[in-house]
Amino acid sequence: MPDDDEMREEYDFSAGVRGKYAQRFDAGSNVVVLDPDVAAEFKTRQAVNEALRDALARKRNEQAAG
């Protein structure tokens, strides 16, 4: 079995274009890295999104009442 850190000889990137999809990826990505203690509480992106939406709704309600 080949070493996982090495490229195989059959891979041919001679016609590859560096960064071909970088702009498209950048436009559609918003990566946020959670601290370990927060990530331990929110196991899925759905859980994170629900918590953030709840926090935003509370903030809006406070501002409207304020």
Give the pTM: 0.55
In a domain, 13, yes or no: no
Residue 15: C-alpha distances to residues 4, 11, 23, 43, 50 (Å): 23, 11, 19, 40, 44
- Domain assignment of residue 2, yes or no: no
Residue 41 lies in a domain: yes
Domain membership flag for residue 25? no
Q: Is residue 4 part of a domain?
A: no
- Tell whether 43 is covered by a domain: yes
Task: Answer yes or no: are the C-beta atoms of 38 and 48 closer than 8 Å.
Answer: no
The verdict on residue 54 lying in a domain is yes
Instruction: Report d(CA 52, CA 64) in Å as an integer.
Output: 18
The domain total for the chain is: 1
Q: Nearest-CA neighbor of 48 among 57, 60, 58, 38?
A: 38
Tens of pLDDT, residue by residue over 12-64, are 889 999 999 888 887 777 888 999 999 999 999 899 999 999 999 999 999 99
